Chain A
Amino acid sequence: MADSHATTLEPEAHNPALLHHFADAQQQKNAASLGMWLFLVTEIMFFGGMFCAYLVYRLAHFNAFAAASQQLSIKLGAFNTAVLLVSSLTVVLAVKAAEAGNRKQLVTYLVITVLLGLTFLVVKGFEYAEKFERHHVPGPTFSFTDTFDDGSQKIPVNPNEAQLYFSLYFAMTGMHALHMIIGCGLFTVLAVFAWKGHYSPGYFTPIENAGLYWHLVDIIWIYLFPLLYLISRHR
């Protein structure tokens, strides 16, 4: 066994990133990738629980959810969706730059990604501030007086049901924003490491796996945007 691998191990031994318990760099990469995907599946289930709660309550209290949803700004939501999609593009271009061994391009794309992530968070912050001003934050000061317009008449809605919507809104977008903050931190660290030259075409697994994480956070927002912002907008 050791003899047959001696020749293949020799060149790999020069790669300081290759850990001794892996046969070669490809096996190490596959193991890291599998671990990342398993983590992403737990993330899908984690957000899945909140999506499930949302689905059940939306079906039970549709009018209140529609009236509350119409208080959100579609412009800001769509803008943030576009920002996140473009950041996903810059991440995949960063992975490509890492694979090509282009350090300058890699750092540039990582920095752009962080800036886009921060743009998303700032816009989200303005949206949250508006919710506080209008007492749309669940709690003792919550107030909701808007009605649901079904096209022919205005139907008053139960403020408690609207509060349920905003609870889910803050839980889901808040958890999503927390993931964005973690992602921005992650990419900042990776950008510094990339600048120092830690990654080579033979080893850029951290860039790839952080990219997978960022894409998943993007996918969650792809579902949050229509579900939270676009309920019954036509009138």
Chain B
Amino acid sequence: MSEHATSSRKFYVGIGMSLLVLTSVTVFAAFVNLGPFNPVVALLIATIKATLVVLFFMHVKGASEKLTAAVLVSGFFFLAILLSLALADYLTRAWR
């Protein structure tokens, strides 16, 4: 982490407000019939929220240590392997 990792209080409150707004949007979107895109929209909003938290609250953006980002990306990389290989199996079974 860098020596001056933190931003202004106003900025943090702004990020917090955006997260609350996105929460209302996701609840609202759940009641609109988008067919197969309902879970896609829900997960997309969740990912935007998670990205805001990681970049600004966990200070990954602006961190002097590139290693932090590398560790984080490797974590999501292995999670992607877990999910994609598991689904590659279950979604292609003939008996389903």
Contact = CB atoms under 8 A, between A and B. Distances in A.
A52 to B, nearest CB: 5
19 contacts: A26-B3, A41-B74, A48-B79, A55-B86, A60-B96, A78-B23, A82-B20, A88-B57, A89-B12, A92-B6, A92-B12, A93-B12, A96-B9, A215-B58, A222-B46, A223-B46, A223-B50, A225-B46, A226-B43
A45 to B, nearest CB: 6
Interface in B51-83: 53-54, 56-58, 65, 67-68, 71-72, 74-76, 78-79, 82-83
Contacts of A40: 72, 75
B94 interface: no
A85 B20 contact: yes
Interface stretch (A30-38, A135-143, A187-195): A30-38
B90 A59 contact: yes
Contacts of B86: 52, 55-56
A41 B72 contact: yes
Given A40-B75, A59-B90, A226-B30, A34 B46 contact: no
Interface in A221-235: 222-223, 225-227, 230-234
A30 B1 contact: yes
Contacts of B12: 89, 92-93, 96
Q: Is the interface of B mostly helix, strand, loop or mixed?
A: helix
Taking residues whose C-beta sits less than 8 angstroms from the other chain, chain B's interface range is 35 or more
B75 A41 contact: yes
Contact of A89 (B16, B24, B32, B39): B16
B26 A226 contact: yes
B81 to A, nearest CB: 10
B9 A226 contact: no
A215 B52 CA distance: 11
A218 interface: yes
Nearest to A224: B46
A59 B68 contact: no
A205 B6 CA distance: 13
Given A30-B1, A88-B53, A44 B76 contact: yes
B72 A219 contact: no
Interface string A65-93: 00000000010001001100110110111
B1 A29 contact: yes
Nearest to A98: B6
A95 interface: yes
Interface in B1-37: 1, 3, 5-6, 9, 12-13, 15-16, 19-20, 23-24, 26-27, 30-34
